[in-house]
Amino acid sequence: MGIPPRCPILTPVVATRARRRPPRPLVTTRLPLSSQPQQALALASSIAAADLALYRSLRSRAIHPGTVRAAQGLSHCGEHAAGWLAAGAAGAMLDRPRRADWLRAGAAVAGAHALNVAVKRVVRRQRPALKGLPALTATPSALSFPSAHAASSFAAARAYSGLLPAAPLYAAAVGMGVSRVFLGVHYPSDVVVGAILGLAVGSLPALSRSTPGRR
């Protein structure tokens, strides 16, 4: 008789252990950081240093009492855009053929001032407070960025420049902005950003006049 085949059920099964792979080493090498954030930080630091240096330079020149009084007088005229709004109201009363243009320009000045105040309350940058360089005029708040005086002044220069000679308007706006740094209540960057904001809002009446179908 032949040898019967083994039953597969009774055949011993040899269990083979799977070879364990050695664990992968943890990656501890840090990936190199991009240089762009570092460059941005370096640029921001340079701008801040230049801003402070220019502030010190202008504020330290506020020595002569007559110059300080002139800067204070100019600054008071720009408080809450009062002087510029008064000019727009006077233009609307005296220049009746262009009354609508004057009213739109005055509204742009008021809008620039309101927008600037809103931005200032969000940013909440504090006014300069450097030892030995006190502020030489009172301010309605402790917030600094951007400058409402600069915003309303450059808005007025832009909006009124279609109704009055532009050169004196922009000269007054520049003087207003410089006076705020000179009196120690704003950094130069406050004035620059305020001026940009004012120019943008002050351009709206001109765009309105140039829209087809409007007179």
DSSP string, the chain: -PPPPPPTTTSPP---PPPPPPPPPPP-PPPPPPHHHHHHHHHHHHHHHHHHHHHHHHHTTTT-HHHHHHHHHHHHHTGGGHHHHHHHHHHHHH-GGGHHHHHHHHHHHHHHHHHHHHHHHHH-PBPP-BTTB--SS--S-SB-SS-HHHHHHHHHHHHHTTTS-HHHHHHHHHHHHHHHHHTTS--HHHHHHHHHHHHHHHTHHHHHHHSTT--
Structural domain including 79 reads 53-210
Is position 57 within any domain?
yes
Q: How much is the pLDDT for 9? A: 47
Is position 28 within any domain?
no
Is position 34 within any domain?
no
Q: How much is the pLDDT for 40? A: 85
- Pick the closest to residue 146 from 170, 121, 129 (CA basis): 121
Q: Average pLDDT per run of 10 along the chain, which is 215 residues long?
A: 51 49 54 70 90 93 92 95 97 96 97 97 95 93 96 98 96 96 97 98 82 50
d(CA 152, CA 149): 5
Q: How much is the pLDDT for 11? A: 46
Is position 75 within any domain?
yes
Structure tokens at 189: 């960057």
Is position 19 within any domain?
no
- Judge whether 120 and 148 are in contact, CB under 8 Å: yes
d(CA 104, CA 109): 9
Q: How much is the pLDDT for 24? A: 58
- Classify residue 209 by burial, with Cβ atoms within 10 Å: 0-12, 13-18, 19+: middle
Phi, psi of 68 (to 5 degrees): -65, -45
- Pick the closest to residue 211 from 129, 203, 135 (CA basis): 203
Q: For the chain, how many structural domains are there in total? A: 1
Across the strands, what pairs with 130? 133
Q: How much is the pLDDT for 195? A: 98
pTM, to two decimals: 0.79
Is position 165 within any domain?
yes
Is position 37 within any domain?
no
Q: How much is the pLDDT for 172? A: 97
Task: Please state whether the peptide bond connecting residue 128 to the residue before it is cis, i.e. omega within 30 degrees of 0.
Answer: no
Is position 154 within any domain?
yes
d(CA 186, CA 55): 8
